[in-house]
Amino acid sequence: MKRKVLILVILTITWSPIIKAQKILTLKECYELAMTSNAIAGEKAAYSQISQLKDNNLTKGWFPTLDANGSLFYNSSVVDIGAALGSLPIPGIASDIKPLPHEQYKITIDVNQVIYDGGAIKGARALEKADLGVNEKQTETDLYKLRGQINGYYFNLMLIDRQKELLNNYLELIRKKISSMQSALNNGVILKSDIDVLASEKIKTEQQLNEIQATKTSLLKVLSDLTGKEIDAITEFILPPQTGELTNELFRPELQLFDLRKEQLAAGEKLIESKRMPKAFGFATFGYGNPPGNNFFRNEFAPYYILGAGVKWNIFDWNKAKNEKQVITLQQGIIENRKNDLTDNLRRLLEIKSAEITSLKKIIESDNELISIRKRITASAESQYANGTITASEYLNELIAERQALINYEVHKITLAMARVEYLNISGKEIE
């Protein structure tokens, strides 16, 4: 009993590094890695920051504005009240009134406060929010296109692994056959040419394995670049779940982008309407000058202030706002037409892909039947070769036919999984 436990511990220690070294990478993980590692993935965060900065600036539209001004005026002609009163029979007054100064000096702080803007700031903020939604969805749309590239490399790597596994099994079978035939050759039962037939097939199989390995290395490099993760040769690629009904509902980001663009135009239309609304504002001026304010009879520097309020209403804009709204209506129509056209194209692609899926399912059913037949034929050929009724070449042909049937089955099975994933990508649904 202790000996069995010791053997079990030794086996566990021996195999644990191998178990740990095995990695599994799903297709969904590849999508997520590509979405975060791509160069344009950071655009969403940048757009969000830009939008926040713009929104902060728009909210400051409610804050009072402060402007510092300074000016110097020289008037060549001013009112001389003393001279005007000199002709009147009022002795002493004219000589006491000095003419208005030719120079005017002033330094002011002007304060302006929006009281009512007709919804302009609110409309501008809504438009900025709509712009952010469009920019973020555009980034998602651009990143979504990576899925098609990842699908090709991922499923080709999976197909290569399955082919490699089948070829290795086939190669091991040939080696065993050669080994068993070697003793028969030594006993003079078979000819050397019989072994040469299998030996040549062994070399061809080894060449195929080398070619497959080179292709896998290049595909791993590309997939690593797309995902931003180093993917080594021991990584295992698995088929996505083949469950769930495939419906023709569409959730593509491009369609959502069209809707967001329409919302963006609607926000712009409200902003145009706000331009026609009356505006109310208050203002104040705090200054220091000579003469102070409008007191032209005081020829000295002194502080002063002016307070006031105003209303502005553009009652007629020569149909400018109407034309701008008509432009938006036309643009919304164009977007709707583009959305309908894309929807029709996507539905046609779904129909084509659905037919492909149905065809692959039927092919796989026939593959299973064909593999069963090929196995029986190979077993019969092996028996016939052992009895000397057929040659080694004839037996090898049947063995190759069985191997090809197995490879075709794996190709069709992986192609079916890829077709289902492409169907989901066309419709815009997430894979499990």
Q: 299: which 2 tokens?
A: 């020829």
- Looking at 312, 329, 363, the residue that finishes a domain is 312
Least Cα distance to 134 among 273, 254, 271 occurs for: 254
- What is the DSSP annotation of 102-126? SEEEEEEEEEEEEEE-TTHHHHHHH
pLDDT at 296 (0 to 100): 75
Cβ(395)–Cβ(385) below 8 Å: yes
312, 327, 358: which is the final residue of a domain?
Answer: 312
For residue 6, is it within any domain?
A: no
Q: State how far Cα 367 lies from the chain centre.
A: 39
Mark whether 236 and 326 lie in a shared domain: yes
Last residue of a domain, one of 290, 312, 334: 312
Claim to verify: residue 192 and residue 233 sit in the same structural domain = yes
Domain range holding 332? Answer: 22-63+117-278+313-427
CB 273 within 8 A of CB 317: no
* pLDDT confidence of residue 180: 82
Report yes or no on 4 lying in a domain.
no
Residues 191 and 217 in one domain: yes
What angle do helix axes 146-186 and 392-427 make, rounded to 10 degrees? 170
Q: Which two tokens stand for residue 413?
A: 């099975």
The DSSP code for 429 is P
Q: Is 111 exposed, middle or buried (0-12, 13-18, 19+ CB in 10 A)?
A: middle
Q: How far apart are CA 304 and CA 19, in angstroms?
A: 87
| 178 lies in some domain | yes
Residues 33 and 132 in one domain: yes
Question: Tokens representing 236?
Answer: 């295992």
Beta strands in 184-317 (DSSP E): 235-237, 279-290, 302-312
Q: Does residue 362 sit in the same domain as residue 227?
A: yes
Residue 5 resides in a domain? no
Helix (H, G, I), strand (E, B) or coil at 278: coil
Distances (CA, A) of 245 to 87, 240, 249, 424, 425: 107, 14, 11, 10, 14
Q: Is 218 helix (H, G, I), strand (E, B) or coil?
A: helix
Q: Report the number of distinct structural domains present in the chain.
A: 2
Domain contains 253 = yes
Q: Do 240 and 137 share a structural domain?
A: yes
**Contacts for 241 with CB less than 8 Å, ≥ 6 apart:** 431, 432
Is 11 part of any domain? no
- Do 207 and 74 lie in a common domain? no
CA distance 2 to 10: 12
At 112, the amino acid letter reads: N
CA distances from 406 to 162, 198, 204, 287, 403 (A): 10, 19, 18, 94, 5
Instruction: Kindly report the CATH number assigned to the domain that includes residue 363.
Output: 1.20.1600.10
Are residues 232 and 220 in contact, defined by beta-carbon separation less than 8 angstroms? yes
Rounded CA Rg of the chain: 43
188 and 263 assigned to the same domain = yes
Q: Report pLDDT for 371.
A: 95
Give the mean pLDDT per block of 10 residues along the chain (432 residues): 39 40 85 92 93 95 94 80 58 61 89 94 96 96 94 95 93 89 76 87 94 95 94 92 86 96 96 92 94 81 93 91 95 97 97 96 95 95 88 90 94 95 94 82
Residue 164 sits in the same domain as residue 302: no
- My answer on whether 247 and 226 are in the same domain is yes
For residues 301 and 359, state if they share a domain.
no
Do 105 and 174 have their domain in common?
A: no
Closest residue by Cα to residue 288 from 68, 121, 98, 88? 68
State the pLDDT at residue 27: 95
Nearest CA to 422 among 27, 75, 151, 131? 151
Let me know if residue 2 belongs to a domain: no
**What's the pLDDT score for residue 20?**
43
Q: Is residue 273 part of a domain?
A: yes
How far apart CA 306 and CA 109 sit, in angstroms, is 10
